[in-house]
Amino acid sequence: MGSSRILILIAQRIAMGVLLLFAVSALIFAGTQILPGDVAQSILGQAATPQALANLREELGLNDPAIVRYFRWLGGVLTGDLGTALSNGRDIASSLEDRLGNTLFLAAIAAIVSVPLAILLGLLAVRYRNGAIDKIISGLALASTSLPEFFIGYVLMLFFAVKLQWFPSVSTVYDTMSFVEKLRAVALPATALTFVVLAHMMRMTRAAILNVMQSAYIETAELKGLSPFQIIRRHAFPNAVAPIVNVVMLNLAYLVVGVVVIEVIFVYPGLGQYLVDHVTKRDVPVVQAVGLIFAAVYIGLNMIADIVAILANPRLRNPR
């Protein structure tokens, strides 16, 4: 009985996500249509002659009505065909594959370090709340979040790449590199990203657990003589999982879609730079494809957070 209700809830949530994705695809398409400027002019740049412009416009099919182009595009996406980039004629799907792989690699490394670290620090801060350890952890985390990411990147670069020369300042990764070489290449950008996302997750973990710590059953647990860490581990943390997962997912999404600055600074071939390059060239098919991927990442991760929240909620698991 209970499990089927959960299944229904989850199915509803997934259906919502898919619907949302379609809505976003329409928005993305509409948005790319109202960008100022013209694809042909952007491709040919300052040195374009009117004749060359007219030829290119014709060739790109920019003269069809927007609605026709939307459904043509949507049909392609559903069959896995993202089309070819207008600007250099390369297949979008295959170019995206490498870039997306790189972005996910960097995000994964940053997440593997930052998520456990943030939760651990959050737990520590709660255990020693309002003491020196709590204040040091919170202060450092807040400071690292307040600094803009390019600044953290430049500082890391100055000390660890230029002065000490432990890690390269250029993080370009190649297919031919071994895993360890890749790890070394992304060490600095991953560290910078860790600093950027750490504090948010840590603070939310701390706040969510502290919230639960006010509950009556925590007092009961204290009275029955459990140690502070056991209280947090067995009683407070499981009840605070939903908000923590939420904030972790938000930060993971940020690691995938919001790192263009770090990519540029460390010369990392990720999806962000790829998107920016194509936006400036008004390369609409690529902008649409990348926009859709970013939307899917956001919606997907939020969906996971919601599903975890459903599963973690005992009231939903055991309905009366």
Partner 1 sequence: MSDELAYLGRRVVAGKMSRRDFLGRAAALGVAAPFANMILANTAGAQTPKKGGALKMGLVGGESTNSLDPALWLTQVPQNFGSTWGELLVVQSPEDGSPQPVLAESWEASDDAAEWHFKIRKGITFHNGKDLTPDDVVQTITRHADEATKSAALGVLGDIDTVTADGDYVVFKLKRGNADLPLLLTDYHLVIQPNGGRDKPDEGIGTGPYKVEVNEPGVRHMSVKYDGYWRDDVGHVDSVEVIVMNDNTARMSALQSGQVHIINRVEPKTVSLLERVQGVVIEAVPSKGHYVFIMHCNTAPFDNADLRMALKYAVDRQQMIDQILLGHASLGNDFPINQSYALFPEGIEQRAYDPEKAAFHYKKSGHSGPILLRTSEVAFPGAVDAAQLFQQQAQAAGIQIDVQREPGDGYWTEVWNKQPFCASYWGGRPTQDSMYSTAYITDADWNDTRFFNEGFDKIILEARAELDDAKRAELYREAATMVRDDGGLILPMFNDFLDAHREEVKGWVKDPNHETSNLRAAIRVWLDQA
Q: Which residues bind partner 1 (CB under 8 A)?
A: 36-38, 41-49, 51-52, 55-56, 85, 87-90, 95, 98-99, 154, 157-158, 161-162, 165, 168-170, 172, 174, 264-267, 269, 273-274, 277-278, 280-281, 283
Least distance from partner 1 to the Cβ atom of residue 186, Å: 14
Least distance from partner 1 to the Cβ atom of residue 135, Å: 33
Q: Which is nearer to partner 1, 168 or 243 (CB)?
A: 168
Q: Which is nearer to partner 1, 70 or 154 (CB)?
A: 154
Least distance from partner 1 to the Cβ atom of residue 295, Å: 20
3-class SS letters over the chain: CHHHHHHHHHHHHHHHHHHHHHHHHHHHHHHHHCCCCCHHHHHHHHHCCHHHHHHHHHHHCCCCCHHHHHHHHHHHHHCCCCCECCCCCCEHHHHHHHHHHHHHHHHHHHHHHHHHHHHHHHHHHHHCCCCHHHHHHHHHHHHHHHCCHHHHHHHHHHHHHHHCCCCCCCCCCCCCCCHHHHHHHCHHHHHHHHHHHHHHHHHHHHHHHHHHHCCHHHHHHHHCCCCHHHHHHHHHHHHHHHHHHHHHHHHHHHHHHCCHHHHHHCCCCCHHHHHHHHHHCCCHHHHHHHHHHHHHHHHHHHHHHHHHHHHHCHHHHCCC
Q: Which is nearer to partner 1, 283 or 306 (CB)?
A: 283
Least distance from partner 1 to the Cβ atom of residue 285, Å: 12
Q: Which is nearer to partner 1, 237 or 266 (CB)?
A: 266
Least distance from partner 1 to the Cβ atom of residue 282, Å: 9
Least distance from partner 1 to the Cβ atom of residue 98, Å: 8
Q: Which is nearer to partner 1, 47 or 216 (CB)?
A: 47
Q: Which is nearer to partner 1, 165 or 318 (CB)?
A: 165
